[in-house]
A = this chain, B = another copy of it.
């Protein structure tokens, strides 16, 4: 690994996406991929530019970003807290885990009628859906992280007079952290994913709306554009999660 230089490490991960892009462009030029159905990268880029020009793209992305973050914060905190309590207390675990595992399995699309009933058709319902989606990965991984903290270290902490908050922050949380970060990384993805469902509820903005609208009217370039945007956001979320992993799990290297 030492032989791979720092800059190479930055570049190599982009090799696969870039190669795919090139193949796709070349096949499009050669007419192997019919343009009407899967537009060439250059066309997608064009579509992106023109949406950027009109300011539409910016608007879609920024409204979605807002919904995403609001939902992420709410759902993340709830998921974390439940994971925490169920991980620590066997009673809470017994009482709530089954219910959460059941809730987790309900598709958002099927929930929409109920969500509209409960929260109407405005922002609340969209943020609710994102929060719901984000909650579960955070929950499961926090739960697992806490359950798998070395029992011996917890015992040590207790024997040294730690309890409650101090036990949590000195032993349990750091021990569970790497798993919690996996949950957060996962949920940063889910955050964007859920938006596409949330934004089928009465709206006229957001990147989920943009994608579904394009699907409705078969604007393949915009569909592909939004897929690309999603992918880039995925990478971005992942980089953020990795940054924190690196920073917080320093001792583990």
Contacts and interface: CB of A to CB of B under 8 A. Distances in A.
Contacts of A130: none
The number of times this chain is found in the oligomer is 2
Contacts of A106: 227, 230-231, 234
Contacts of A109: 196-197, 200, 211-212, 215
A179 interface: yes
Nearest to A104: B189
Interface stretch (A10-18, A45-53, A55-63): A10-18
A223 interface: yes
Given A17-B99, A223-B114, A107 B211 contact: yes
Contact of A17 (B9, B98, B234): B98
A193 interface: yes
Determine the interface band of chain A, counting residues with CB < 8 A from chain B: 35 or more
A248 interface: no
A181 to B, nearest CB: 9
A90 B192 CA distance: 28
A138 to B, nearest CB: 11
A148 B193 CA distance: 27
Contacts of A98: 13-14, 16-17, 235, 238
A22 interface: no
A54 to B, nearest CB: 21
A4 interface: yes
A230 to B, nearest CB: 5
Nearest to A234: B105
A231 B232 CA distance: 33
A1 interface: yes
Given A102-B235, A234-B105, A238-B101, A113 B14 contact: no
B215 A94 contact: no
A113 B195 CA distance: 18
Interface string A94-126: 111111011111110111111001000000000
A99 B16 contact: yes
Contacts of A238: 98, 101
A76 interface: no
Nearest to A133: B193
A215 B4 contact: no
13 contacts: A13-B95, A13-B99, A14-B98, A15-B95, A17-B98, A38-B114, A101-B189, A105-B234, A106-B230, A109-B197, A114-B227, A144-B182, A148-B178
